[in-house]
Structure 1
Amino acid sequence: MNGTEIDVSIDEKLQQYFAGRVVRKDLTKMMKVGYNVPVYVLEYLLGSNCATEDEDLIEAGVEKVKNILSRNYVRPDEAEKIKSRIRESGYYTIIDKITVKLNERRDVYEAVFSNLGIAKVEVESDYVMRYDKLLGGGIWCIVKMEYEPEQMGSPFIISDLKPIQLPNININEILENRNFFTKEEWMDILLRSVGMEPSNLEERTKWHLIERLVPLVENNYNMCELGPRSTGKSHVYKEISPNTVLISGGQTTVANLFYNMSTRQVGLVGMWDVVAFDEVAGINFKDKDGIQILKDYMASGSFARGKEQINANASIAFVGNINQSVSSLLKTHHLFAPFPEAMNNDSAFFDRIHYYLPGWEVPKFRPEHFTDKHGFIVDYIAEFFREMRKYSYADSLFKYFKMGSNLNQRDVIAVKKTYSGLVKLIYPNGKITQEEAEEVLKYSLEGRRRVKEQLKKIGGMEFFDVNFSYLDNETMEEKFVNVPESGGNKIIPPGLGKPGEAFAVAPNENGKIGVYKIELQIATGNGKYEATGLSSNSSAKESVKTAINYFKANAKSISQSISTKESDYFLNFQDMYGIGLANGLALSTFISLCSGALDKPLHEQTAIIGDMTIGGSINAVDNLADLLQVCLDAGAKKVLIPSASTARLGSVPPEVLSKFQLSFYDDPIDAAQKSLFFM
């Protein structure tokens, strides 16, 4: 079948198996421009009045919906006018969001009208029994109102009430009818239901857009998506479901998010299915313990306030922008860098994130990315998402596969949650083959590994076990899962560098390990030495001065051809991670000077560990395992290590050691000779 035939088939099958539950999404786009009502209200009305392929009937249905909204929708700024109209005419029909509570003292149900701004309006129990969502956060309704000033309580009376959101959902309808669609068809239906056109999207992009929906179907799921602007990162949490809340700007309080001690009310995590933070760079709690409470909640789904331990099911989503290319960000920082400093200083916070969605792989949306085809009414699919939170499909994973040894318990939980969420979305009836389960598992492992890779950059050897894999239960074949961005972004590139170019791996004055690139230019002169890129770091300047003095005194021991008085040497230093210059750059600077003076490059992808004194003494390094891990991340294949540090090799995991050719040196001249490439 060609693409057109597939599209027609999907639309026809939706009409056949989900009559009254689908709507043409181009009608939603058209109506949304003129009427500022929630998408789920618009689509319910369109689905009720335009469920046909007859263009004349669709046009008539659209006009009917326009008339309903024009006459009956209550705008908050016109509330007093509408109340007056009800009073003067004695009756009027309105569209508003109605929330009902039981007044125990009077033993009656009372309604609050969101836009009309009235409360304590009595509601017959029959309505509450039929539409129980009135009690669970409220629903949008068409209400016939009457006015009787003489009666007790509110003078406003509900004479008829009809929901224009789905008052309930039969989940079995979806579970059974899913059998009539292929995996590809069902994924396309999900994407069209949230407004996207899958025929204009790559396969991998489709998976990313469906992953955005996992927090809506999985309880206590923590997801992060950072990427360029205009990729629709916050759209799902803003428009698609009435059960999510988006915190714009990231400003909030513990009372608002978790628990208000004075009113004794649970905050947003107890009221919504998903709490999403927009623009992660601006996340800020007015309470100093806010991030710690959020971290604890993300780990356990509970939090303590006062004497109470409170449980909640809300998932947490973080979305934000990356303002530079991913390759440059990975070279200089890590993929969590856009988060605020308070979070960046706590690697355990990021360890709570179950999935890192690579937002840079989602295209900037253009008109052709939005669908004009049929999809589920947003309110219908939102209720489907909410119902699926009651299920767990992680068991089918272990029916076919085991996790590799590099996954700890937190990693396994993260992968299980992602896997379960994706199966709920794509295979809601739980019918999934081993091949299909493997596809979901690989995608789930990738997102958690992306988290772990960044934790390794932040926390060092504590998170070295990132080599994620899974095993087939029958064959016990082990397969490994990588992240695409791990290749092609190494700081120490393949191939021979220029003479005088050297890479040092060393800790700065705060103990953070950095990668430092040294470049050298030599010109005919009279023995002048200059160094740039050291800023105001006096310790680094002293270290470079030590190297220059040692080079002047010992150059002839390297080669009689080196002239220290007839050439000028211009050194430049780059802090590749942007963490501040290290103090111990004397040895690497000396090797750079030797390389440039001899016009010989260093061996391919060489990193230099260790430092020297003015007298040429070499000291052992303490944190060899962490230093080698950074060398590996930076792309090194050969590493120079002080001979005095051989005793510490036992602290390095074999998985890391096996990645390098190690070269041990006893003094600076020995280090220079072993590092240079002589053809």
Structure 2
Amino acid sequence: MEQVILDKLSSNFAGKFVRKDLTKKIKEGANVPVYVLEYLLGMYASSLDETLVSQGVENVKNILARNYVRPDEAEKIKARIRELGGYTVIDKISVTLNASKDCYEASFSNLGLRDVQISDEYVKKYDRLLGGGIWCIVAMEYWYDENNRMNSPFVARKVDPIQMPGLDIDDFKDARSAFTTEEWIDLVLRSVGMEPTHFSERVKWLHLARLIPLIENNYNLCELGPRGTGKSHVYKEISPNSILVSGGQTTVANLFYNMATRTMGLVGMWDCVAFDEVAGIRFKDNDGVQIMKDYMASGSFARGKEEKNASASMVFVGNINQSVDVILKTSNLFEPFPEVMGTDSAFLDRMHCYLPGWEIPKYRPDFFTDDYGFITDYFSEVMREMRKISFSDSFDPFFKLGMQLNQRDTIAVRRTVSGMMKLIYPDGNYNKDDVEKVLRFALEMRRRVKEQLKKIGGMEFYDVNFSYIDLEEGREEYVSVPEQGGGTLIPEGMGKAGHLYSVSYGKGGQLGTYKLETQISSGNGRFERTGIGSDREAKEAMDSAYKYLRANAKNISQSISLATKDFVVHVQDLNGIGMTAVLNLPTMIALCSSLLNKPVLPSLVILGDITIGGSMIKVENLANSLQVAKDAGAKKVLVPMTSAADLGTVPPELMGTFNLIFYQTPEDAVFKALGVE
């Protein structure tokens, strides 16, 4: 770390930072979470003086050697408590209520003790003792009562959870202004143990996004990727406020609410509940996934006659075993989820963010920092405190979201923006460029969810062309996901059979891009149109296309049979300008493409239309139509021969960007669109 940053750290965060190589060195000898080690290092070795640091490290080592309970030495520690009458231990303890005795009893994870007497005051003060347990420094006593042999002789006399005392969040915010954005991001990454100099800016941001569930209430994040990329590290090691549920069976009582004991489950005790290895998640209760869906959507769930509220974020991490390219061609990116979740589009639609884990490189030893960062326990408390405020409206003065984002999309994007802004700009000092960068990132993370939902749920999730509008300049910017292709409306590469793009005038008199998607199934010749609302002209144009094809199908291919199939053609208004009636020819080509299972040429836009009898209708305003096609990302344009006379109105530089393909009849248009000579 540069000396100037170190000076800023020591003058603004004295006693709240630690050298991370110290954590690594001690961690290798003691299997305790990072936040436990750094709590101790913060007490004894938070200094820039090398001599004091060395003494502090020795102190921490001695404390761990004396007091940390290793499972294989549990009996030795128990004996020591008995012989000395008392002894201080560091262990993870959880508490349960023994209703028959009307008292609380503690269980020690490594010490292996159960039914240990513990005062009610600690349970009231630290309610997470009841929900999975927390690491504590415990002063133990030993009292054996011959008259009451039913009680354990072990007593937890004094319990100190391993947590930072006191926090002034305003001091933290004020100190942020001493750092540049780049310095601050690097400091945050070092605080969670990573060395930012080994990462690109994109990978740094993906690491930051892993922290959003810890700083944002009711945030649902999914990260699937290769093994060895640290997906569960943050939720297990870094924060005492999150719990990692390893893959396997769980119950509604454990996760949400126990009706028998009338106690909240994990979502009421923790800031973040993370599920490791999503492929193994199983609910013993039939209604488990349904309750989870309810909670992920609203932050509440119904149990018995009551509705319960909680603020815990949900994180789902798991492994992808194939390359992303293969999965995108053969399945969807939610494939690792168990079937009951992975095929439930309503469940997956609750995800606010899909983090592309495959973009994070596999961890090497040098990816872990030796430099200075916040004591993780301190930073965890900062994140916990920041959950009380929201930055979700931070982009409103500069931008508004595009037409294709529905209510769930908007909530997801706003929560991601809020989380990232709190991580990077907790003091609220940011400009338009800063918030635009965060907004683009948030739109991409949600669009990844929507793109996969479109594969799973079909037409219901057709609105995936996410955009935002600059209020000052009036420009609309589209945001893509890298694995899906470029940032234009028309992605590069071969599309699916039955999918195509056209450019024409909408109801409002503006030129826009329209996408047609066709679904085909066995049936008896039924034809449905979706996406056009109650637009009578659009309906009539699509019906005409179907009737024309039914009468002339044999002119295109002898293998086409409409009588044994049912069709759904969905029209998307990609620019939000209103529906078009120029749908006769595009519908006919989309149906033929689907029937012949042959995609149209890549990056193709269809211009022009046909009458009910099959005559050509020339393109209205060819030059402007070609400009819209270019902006949408078209490389090839299908043009009626009747518009050839208008080519003189098209600027040469615009004409040079396309491969223009002319057609003379509807059948000719089909052949050329499908690349059939």
TM-score scaled by structure 1?
0.72
Distance change >3 Å, CA 210–CA 493, structure 1 → 2? closer
Deviation per CA, 1:346-404: give whole Å up to 9, x if none: 22222111111111111111122110001111111111121111111112221222111
Greater Cα offset, 97-106 or 200-209: 97-106
Structure-2 separation of matches of 1:110 and 1:191: 39
**1:270-419 correspondence to structure 2 within 5 Å:** 270-419=268-417
Shift in CA distance, 328/489, structure 1 to aligned 2, threshold 3 Å? farther
State yes or no: 1:58 paired with 2:53.
Answer: yes
State the partner residue of 1:14: 9
Deviation larger for 130-139 or 402-411: 130-139
Deviation at 1:327, TM superposition (A): 2.0
**Structure 1 residue runs without a partner (length 5+):** 496-501, 507-512, 515-579, 585-608, 647-653
Structure 2: distance between partners of 1:635 and 1:617: 23
Cα deviation for residue 321 of structure 1 reads 1.8
Secondary structure of 1:236 counterpart? helix
User: 1:505 — aligned with what?
Assistant: 497
Q: Does 1:67 align with 2:62?
A: yes
SS of the residue 2:194 aligns to: coil
Deviation, structure 1 residue 92: 2.6
Write the letter of the residue equivalent to 1:87. R
- Could you list the runs of 5+ residues in structure 2 that have no partner in the other structure? 501-518, 524-548, 572-589, 615-624, 641-662
Letter in 2 for 1:166: M
Q: Distance in 2 between matches of 1:674 and 1:637?
A: 8
Aligned-residue Cα RMSD (Å) equals: 4.3
SS at match of 1:199: helix
Matched-pair contact (CA < 8 Å) for 1:175–1:429 = yes
Q: Does 1:473 align with 2:471?
A: yes
Secondary structure of the 1:623 match is strand
Change in CA separation of 1:98 and 1:666 when aligned onto 2, cut-off 3 Å: same
- In 2, the alpha carbon distance for the partners of 1:416 and 1:183 equals 21
Partner of 1:592: none
Query: Of the candidates 569, 591, 599, which is equivalent to residue 624 of structure 1?
Result: 569
Partner Cα distance (1:108, 1:219) in 2: 33
Q: Name the CA distance, whole Å, in 1 between partners of 2:130 and 2:474.
A: 52
Superposition pairs of residues 439-454 of structure 1, within 5 angstroms: 439-454=437-452
Query: How far, CA to CA, are the matches of 2:5 and 2:345 in structure 1?
Result: 46
Give yes or no for contact 1:328–1:489 (8 Å, CA) kept in 2: no
- Could you tell me whether the CA contact under 8 Å between 1:91 and 1:147 is conserved in 2? yes
Contact 2:480 2:486 in 1 (8 A): no
Shift of 1:643: 9.8
Q: Could you tell me how far 1:284 is from its partner in structure 2?
A: 2.5
User: Aligned-pair distance for 1:50?
Assistant: 1.8
2:43 is aligned to 48
SS of the residue corresponding to residue 281 of structure 1 reads helix
SS state at 1:430 partner? coil
Provide the residue aligned with 2:219 in structure 1. 221
Q: Deviations over 1:37-60 (max 9, x none)?
A: 221111111222222333343333
Is the 8 Å Cα contact of residues 116 and 155 (structure 2) preserved in structure 1?
Answer: no
Flag the 1:13–1:304 CA change in 2: closer, same or farther, 3 A: same
Counterparts in 2 of 1:348 and 1:99: CA distance versus 1, 3 Å: closer
Can you list the C-alpha shifts for 1:121-159, whole angstroms capped at 9, x where unaligned?
A: 45596x899989879986544444444546998755667
Render the CA deviation track for 1:197-233: whole Å, top value 9, x for unaligned. Answer: 0011100000000000001111111111111221111
Output the amino acid matched with 2:20: K
> Are the equivalent residues in 2 in contact too, given 1:133–1:168 (CA < 8 A)?
no
SS in structure 1 of the partner of residue 177 of structure 2: helix
State the AA in 2 paired with 1:267: G
The equivalent position to 2:262 in structure 1, one of 256, 261, 264, is: 264
Relative distance call for 1:674 and 1:446 in structure 2 (3 A) is closer
- CA contact 2:497–2:600 (8 Å) conserved in 1: no
SS at match of 2:570: helix
CA contact (8 A) 2:131 2:265 kept: no
> Contact between 1:331 and 1:489, CA under 8 Å: does it hold in 2?
no
My pick for the range that moved more, 10-19 or 435-444, is: 10-19
CA contact (8 A) 1:468 1:481 kept: yes
Q: Tell me the residue number matched to 1:529.
A: none
The one-letter code of the counterpart of 1:194 is: V
Within the candidate set 167, 188, 192, 1:194 is matched to: 192
- Residues 619 and 28 of structure 1: CA distance in aligned 2, closer, same or farther (over 3 Å): same
Shift of 1:632: 8.7
CA spacing shift, 1:475–1:72, aligned 2, 3 Å:
same
Paired residue type of 1:382: S
Q: Which of these residues, 235, 243, 247, is aligned with residue 245 of structure 2? A: 247
Aligned partner of 1:573 in structure 2 is none
Q: How far 1:104 moved relative to its partner?
A: 12
Q: Does 289-298 or 91-100 show the bigger shift?
A: 91-100
User: Does the Cα contact within 8 Å between 2:131 and 2:269 map onto a contact in 1?
Assistant: no
Q: Give secondary structure in 1 for the equivalent of 2:397.
A: helix
Map 1:162-241 to 2 at 5 A: 164-241=162-239
Structure 1 residues 188 and 94: alpha-carbon distance in aligned structure 2, compared to 1, 3 A threshold:
same
Which whole-Å deviations, capped at 9, do the CAs of 1:488-513 have from their partners, x for residues lacking one?
799x9979xxxxxx99826xxxxxx9
Are residue 95 (structure 1) and residue 90 (structure 2) matched?
yes
1:82 aligns with one of 68, 77, 80: 77
Please give the secondary structure, in 2, of the residue aligned with 1:288.
coil
SS at match of 1:395: coil
Overall identity of the aligned pairs, in % = 57
User: In the alignment, is the contact (CA less than 8 A) between 2:192 and 2:234 conserved in 1?
Assistant: yes
Q: Secondary structure at the match of 2:497?
A: strand
After TM superposition, give the deviation of residue 310 of structure 1 in Å.
1.7
| Residue in structure 2 matched with residue 566 of structure 1 by the alignment | none
- Kept after mapping to 2: 8 A contact 1:111/1:123: no
After superposition, give the CA deviation of every residue in 1:235-286 in whole Å (9 maximum; x if it has no partner).
1111111222222224323232223333333322222211222222333223
CA contact (8 A) 1:99 1:139 kept: yes
Question: Conserved in 2, the CA contact under 8 Å of 1:96 and 1:113?
Answer: yes
Distance change >3 Å, CA 123–CA 307, structure 1 → 2: closer
Number of positions where the alignment pairs a residue of Structure 1 with one of Structure 2: 564
Partner of 2:418: 420
The code of the aligned residue for 1:17 comes to N
Comparing 153-162 and 625-634, the one that deviates more: 625-634
> Is the contact made by 1:99 and 1:138 (CA closer than 8 Å) also made in structure 2?
yes
2:117–2:154 CA contact under 8 A, matched in 1: yes
User: In structure 1, what is the Cα distance between the partners aligned to 2:477 and 2:668?
Assistant: 45
273 and 159 in structure 1: CA distance in 2 versus 1, 3 angstrom threshold: closer
Judged with a 3 Å threshold, the aligned counterparts in structure 2 of structure 1 residues 140 and 347 are, in CA distance, closer, same or farther, namely closer
Note the alpha carbon deviations across 1:291-317, whole angstroms, 9 max, x for none: 222222211111222222222211111
Counterpart CA distance in 2 for 1:328 and 1:101 is 48
Asked if 1:637 is matched to 2:635, the reply is no
Q: Which residue of 1 aligns with 2:649?
A: none
